[in-house]
Amino acid sequence: MSKSLKVKAVSLVASVALLGGTAWLASGATGAYFSDTQQGNISGTVGSIHIAAYGGSGTTGTDLAFTNLLPGVAQTVKLKYTNTGSNPQDVYVVFTDPTALSALNNLGRYGEVHLAANGTALFDSANLNDHLISGHCGTLDPSGCWPLKSQYLLVSNLAPGATGDMSFSFNYSGALKGQLPAGSAAAPWNSYPVSGQFTTVSGDSGSGLPYEIVATQHGITPGQ
């Protein structure tokens, strides 16, 4: 073969290699490859936890009241609530004022409390002491001192649109004596602070038992 023919042959081989390179690279060994694309978008909505609460008579508002309590005659007030959010939720009652709560728990055997949710008892005590008294009530359990705690789970995983209720019963024991003189204004229930109570917040005074109905995500307790 002449010198000139060899040069042409080399050029021809190089050209074929270059032309064939695309098909060879497309086999997946390296370099370029086939592809296809589908467009998408990540979207969604934000859930909500909301609750509406109202008095047992069906009126709006969450203030409940006992009227003219007498020893040995229990009274019950009731609250209803509805999940107005878009997600299942847990519902709690939280007694928000430690001074007021301790004043109630200072009644000992003079006061009796029953708390229920949706017909199920959550708390029952006829001895509300929140501190141990030697020789009087023994331990902090139902057979001794049994104070009302600061919060209780009323319902778990309440569905959107579903409703529930809470009832709170109170009874002064027959041992309560010493009513106010005739003509006196009605004495408020559970005035606070009182002497000897377990917890006192400086400057905190009033009457009643402040509370909140708190809705949380399922499994989350208030304050978390």
Q: Is the pLDDT reported for residue 29 higher than 90?
A: no
pLDDT tens, residue by residue, 157-200: 999 999 999 999 999 988 777 777 777 777 899 999 988 676 66
More confidently predicted of 69 and 59: 69
How far apart are alpha carbons 193 and 147 in whole angstroms? 16
- Dihedral sign (CA 216, 217, 222, 223): negative
Cα 218 → chain centroid: 8
Instruction: Please report which helix (H) or strand (E) contains residue 14, including its range.
Output: helix 3-24
Going along the chain, which residue ranges are E strands? Answer: 51-55, 75-83, 89-95, 111-117, 120-125, 151-158, 163-172, 191-192, 206-207, 211-217
Average pLDDT, the chain: 83
How far apart are alpha carbons 166 and 143 in whole angstroms? 25
Hey, which residues does 166 pair with through a beta bridge? 79, 117
Task: Please state the pTM of the whole predicted model.
Answer: 0.79
**Closest by CA position to 198, among listed 107, 130, 96:** 130
What's the CA angle centered on 209, arms 212 and 104, to 5 degrees? 135
